[in-house]
Structure 1
Amino acid sequence: MSVSSGDLTPELLHSSLWGDALVEAAGIPVYDMQLVTVGGGLGSFTLLDVLRIRGVATSAMRVLSTSDSPWQTWEYLTRVSQLPAHERIRSDSGARPDNIWGFPSYAVQEAWQDRSVRPLLQVLTEPVMADFYSPKAALVMRTVQREADRIGYWQMLAKGQVRMVRKRLGGGYFTILTPPAGSGPTKRVALRSRFVHLAVGYPGLKFLDDLQEFRQRQGERYRVVNAYEPHEHVYDQLSKRPGVVVVRGAGIVASRVLQRLIDDRERYGLRTQIVHLFRTYVTGSHGPHAFMRRKGGDGWAYQAFTMPKSAFGGQLKAQFRRATPERRARLASLVAGTTTPKLSGWQEQLRRARRGNWYHPVHAEVERIDLAPDGRLVTYTNSANSAPMQHVSDFIIDCTGLEADMPEHRVLDDLLRHGGARPNKAGRLQVGEHFEVLGAENGDGVLYASGAATAGNHFLAVDSFIGMQTAALDIADDLAGRGFCGGLGPVRSVSQWIRWAANRGPA
């Protein structure tokens, strides 16, 4: 390998601590930057937003990403999981990624834009007389774009694929970026910084073992799909001829997929049959204590948001901060789990579907997936309450979630192998109270993380709008103590909110 090739050498790949001369000898250009955030999604965006509000210049920070915008991945996942732009997401009115103050809320903004008091009345009467208010996906994306423009996000964006983050001899880190093909004379570039932030989201899709085995054995990618991958062809095929769909999962995504199937059937007069497999079937309110019981029924566990509201900023949040790792694991098992909001319109849809005998909920464990003689899919199930069954279908939609195991992500796996990071009780990155990755410190340099990779630590609701903002605020507080940015006292907070409201850049 030529020393001027600008690529990773065997010595770099196998060294956990890099000197400046070692990187330069590989022909990799080095650029200095005070802070680098890796990911380029809403986790990166919220940190940059908070730091810009605290007075950090755009020239001091870079976001490394393959995405063109901070909402790109989020928009893709919501769209393919049947939450297109015009639909409402599962989020609180005050949880605004573009607005750390949460005022005005989404409900107020929607009421103002639509010249309607309906959103305000819904917020005032939720959840007793109305469903919880939640914003439309389009409103979230539009407001995030406005804030990205305001803070100069595009000036901080550097496109490319991050390969790894390694400790630097003398303190700080090297972040290795592979720029888009044809964008430069070398294959890699290195950003040398004192601070690094990781907000890399989920490593990939999560398939149940039996579905994964079938897909690999049969080379099947068309009829057995994950709800988080493009599967519009399923609905398209069902619109052309009658078919049977097996839906697996009992969370918000499963409820949205069912709503799409029911909407299409009723709107276009289709004859789609739906078999819904529940691994755990909830028949009513459940929970270990009276004050921790969750509503449920017809197989579903109901909860307005991904976590109880107290996990975002109440008693549960305080308990998690004080708890030992063992107690955190116990608390998480009590309050987490698969849930969906109990929305009145969707509930009525399911009632009509059950009465029409074309929605069939089944409580059973899946043993295997195979092919019928006619080439259709056969799901073999077993239940303690009934004889083994076979469900023949044209499609299977897996709604069980996203994969978050760290070894599945190249950057996180490298951090565990070479960066000193260690997993917590939940198998995610172990972080401190300011979301610093424990074990990855290097001299005066600090590596932070937020989002799904930090689940199981002192804050429960990390994978949410408020969770990402909480992490950003805590990281900014730590950076302020290290002299990187200013504080956010009452005077500055008010002045910056006024600038936000007037759509003027931070000062």
Structure 2
Amino acid sequence: MGGREHGRGDLTPALLDTPVWSDALVESAGIPVRDAPFVTVGGGIGSFVLVDYLRIAGVPTSDIRVLSNIDQPWQTYQYLTRVSQIPEPERIRSDSSSRPDNIWGFPSYALSEAWRDRTIRPLLHVLGEPIFADYWTPRVGDVFTSMAREAARIGYSRMLDRGVVRMVRRRDKGGYFTILTPPEGTSETRRIAYRSRFAHVAVGYPGLRFLPDLQEFREKYGDYTRVVNAYEPHEHVYEFLKTRPGTVVVRGGGIVASRVLQRLMDDRERHNLQTRIVHIFRTFVTGAHGPHLWARRKGGDGWAYQGFNYPKSVWGGQLKARMRKLDGAERAALYKEMGGTNTPKRRRWQQQMRAGREGGWYEAFQGVVERVEPGVDGTLTSIVTSDLTGESATQKIGSNYIIDCTGLEADIAEHRILADLLSHAGAGRNPLGRLDVERHFEIKGTASGDGALYATGAATLGGYFPGVDTFLGLQVGAQEITDDLARRGFCRRIGPIRSATQWVRWALGRPVKEA
């Protein structure tokens, strides 16, 4: 198709300022309307998992549109794992049965790997965890491969419409309009409006969050090379350290910090480098800790250790049942009790840190960085208030690079779609400041006639189900939404018989039949 006609399909002031749209209002702006019973926004793993459920429940591809600016649902996650030092042969922090490509969780990743490699080692590992071995976790490359297989099986590419979603607004006759900006040169208008009865938002993390002193340094000095976030490309740091001895300051105490440390230590060992690592914790854990005997987390040397993001009972035990009954301050208090930054305790990585402490090239302590300044000869100086000897002291730490590993925790209002939901769609915030959703993941306050607007993923953390930003959490959310859509008559319920027959089709790699 030809290029766009200038001005045609623009979002007019009337559209931008009106929370509930009519068909005539959209058409008057020259925006073409496409009908689709169900629309999911994001196109990442959250969208993929829900679409997988819906296809297994019998919804045809013609009734589902996936609106996304990425080609594959694992594309963003693949990027984040790669830049945060988890290449495809490495293992991620996920349970063996948490499979985005397999709603049944059987066979698990461990069983699939054992079958493929003709070895029982993964199975023996699972049987021995966590007493005799670390928790078994899948290789990230296997996750992508299995998702590609399932995407082909359910016809994911036939449901995908490429572009950038601008907003989701309620429709006066029920349902929603979702505004998509298609790629340049693919449409005669600047926007396309998707008119649907149901919509789903799964846009992942709102964005990177830099520590204030690091953000101030980057903006003041325009230096985006020496002060980097672990979730942005920073391979140049490791390449520099291969050319000469250097010092790196690592900040943060979660799994990404542990992966960055392991990469630095692996390179030091593999290439016989002289890298020095200074690790600054804001909260330094010295041992087991927790609010009471039955909710204690192991810790030491600054780290809080936990096998997975959340306690096991979150997925189907007492903690899950308790959380579903809590609201407001009580729910926020329970999140705080079980929250906090943590990472798995891996034997190999522990050995490397021990060697670093003994050799004097790895130093970890609790401190608060007041500011970062340019040093001499292209170095950085961190002004740190620390408690190394029992008394507060200020010291200056010189380094060649600073790697911020504090996470993807930006406010949801920094994401354009989420900000619009808060301003114009009736959405509100939960006790942790994220999107407030019902137990079935419908966004509170956004109902429109007989339609419903749902959300899953990190944007909903703080709701009635804690583990929303994990593989299994996305599946729990997708199952709740699918059950709700079945109650509304949109799809079939996945009962025992359908579940069994569909699992057989999955195991044989046969395409999902259209209803």
* TM tier relative to shorter chain: over 0.9
Corresponding residue number in structure 1 for 2:396 = 390
Which of 247, 251, 274 is matched with 2:250 structurally? 247
Provide the residue aligned with 1:61 in structure 2. 64
Verify the 8 A CA contact 1:150 1:503 in the aligned structure 2. yes
- Equivalent residues in 2 for 1:173-252, closer than 5 Å: 173-252=176-255
Q: How much is the aligned-residue C-alpha RMSD, in angstroms?
A: 1.0
Tell me, in whole angstroms, the C-alpha distance in 2 between the residues paired with 1:395 and 1:50: 45
Deviation at 1:373, TM superposition (A): 3.4
Amino acid at match of 1:472: A
Distance (whole Å) between structure 2 residues aligned to residue 179 and residue 403 of structure 1: 28
Which residue of the other structure, out of 477, 485, 489, is the alignment partner of 1:479? 485
Structure 2 partner of 1:431: 437
Are 2:15 and 1:9 equivalent residues in the alignment? no
Which among 35, 38, 50 is matched to residue 35 of structure 1?
38
Distance in 2 separating the partners of 1:455 and 1:400? 17
- Deviations 1:389-439, CA, capped at 9 Å, x for gaps: 110000000000003411100000011111000111111111111100010
Per-residue deviation, 1:315: 1.4
Work out the CA distance in 2 between the residues paired with 1:354 and 1:441.
Answer: 57
Deviation at 1:383, TM superposition (A): 2.1
C-alpha separation between the residues in 2 aligned to 1:208 and 1:499?
48
* Residue 88 of structure 2 corresponds to residue 85 of structure 1: yes
Q: Which amino acid letter does the alignment assign opposite residue 394 of structure 1? A: N
Residue 383 of structure 2: aligned partner: 380
CA–CA distance in 1 between the matches of 2:216 and 2:95?
Answer: 38
Seen in structure 2, the aligned counterparts of structure 1 residues 269 and 196 have a Cα distance that, compared at 3 Å, is same
Q: How far is the alpha carbon of 1:311 from its aligned partner?
A: 1.1
Matched, 1:452 2:458: yes
Structure 1 residues 132-211: aligned runs within 5 Å: 132-211=135-214
Structure 2 residue identity aligned to 1:489? G
CA shift for structure 1 position 4: 6.9
* Aligned-partner residue type, residue 265 of structure 2: I
CA distance in 1, matches of 2:310, 2:339: 7
Which runs of structure 2 are paired with 1:57-136 in the superposition (5 Å)?
A: 57-136=60-139
Between the aligned partners of 1:317 and 1:500, the Cα distance in structure 2 is: 29
Distance 2:209 2:290 in 1: 27
2:346 to 343, 348, 358: 343
C-alpha displacement of 1:371: 1.1
* Structure 1 equivalent of residue 269 of structure 2: 266
Q: Does 1:360 align with 2:363?
A: yes
Per-residue deviation, residues 90-111 of structure 1 (Å, max 9, x unmatched): 0000000000100000000000
Deviation of 1:353 after TM superposition, in Å, equals 1.0
- Give 1:505 shift: 1.3
Does the 8 A contact of 1:245 with 1:393 survive in 2?
yes
AA aligned opposite 1:323: L
TM value normalised by structure 2: 0.97
Distance in 2, matches of 1:173 and 1:376, equals 53
2:341 and 2:467 map into 1 onto residues whose CA distance is 14
Q: Distance in 1 between matches of 2:22 and 2:433?
A: 31
* Alignment match, 2:285: 282
Residue 491 of structure 1 is aligned with which of 494, 497, 500?
Answer: 497
Q: Out of 425, 438, 443, which is 1:419 matched to?
A: 425
Q: Distance in 2 between the 1:368 and 1:3 partners?
A: 47
In structure 1, give the amino acid aligned to 2:46: G
State the distance in 1 between where 2:93 and 2:301 align.
Answer: 21
Partner of 2:21: 18
Are 2:206 and 2:459, in contact at CA under 8 Å, matched by a contact in 1? Answer: no
Decide whether aligned partners of structure 1 residues 248 and 501 sit closer, same or farther in structure 2, where only a CA change above 3 A counts.
same
User: Does the 8 Å CA contact 1:4/1:26 hold for their aligned counterparts?
Assistant: no
- Work out whether 1:51 is the aligned partner of 2:57: no
- The separation in 1 between residues aligned to 2:327 and 2:200, in whole angstroms, is 25
Amino acid at match of 1:158: D
Cα distance in 2 between the residues matched to 1:95 and 1:266: 33
Partner secondary structure for residue 322 of structure 1: coil
Cα distance between partner residues in 2 of 1:457 and 1:326? 12
Deviations, residues 223-261 of structure 1 (Å, cap 9, x unaligned): 000000000000011111111000000000000000000
Pair 1:299-2:302 in alignment: yes
Residues 447-502 of structure 1 show CA distances to partners (whole Å, capped at 9, x for unaligned) of 00000111111000000000000000000000001110001111110000000000
Q: 3-state DSSP class of the match of 2:130?
A: coil
Q: Distance in 2 between matches of 1:94 and 1:153?
A: 23
Tell me whether 1:440 sits opposite 2:440 in the alignment: no
Say which SS state the counterpart of residue 112 (structure 1) adopts.
helix
Give the SS at the match of 2:336: helix
Aligned equivalents of 1:54, 1:408: Cα separation in 2: 35
Unaligned runs of 5+ in 1: none
**Cα deviation per residue 1:156-208 (whole Å; 9 max; x = unaligned)?**
00100000011111111100000001111111000000000000001111100
Query: Is residue 286–residue 293 contact of structure 1 (8 Å, CA) maintained in 2?
Result: yes
2:323 aligns with: 320
Q: Distance in 2 between matches of 1:273 and 1:404?
A: 30
Please state whether the residue corresponding to 1:434 is helix, strand or coil.
coil
Q: Residue 377 of structure 2 aligns to a residue in which SS?
A: coil
SS at match of 2:168: strand
Q: CA deviation at 1:50?
A: 0.3
What is the DSSP-based 3-state SS (H/G/I as helix, E as strand, rest coil) of the residue aligned with 1:131?
coil
Contact 1:31/1:190 (8 A) holds in 2: yes
Deviation for aligned residue 1:3:
10
Q: Which amino acid aligns with 2:438?
A: G
Letter of the 2:395 partner, please give it. Answer: M
Given residue 404 of structure 2, which amino acid in structure 1 is its aligned partner? D
How many pairs does the alignment contain? 506
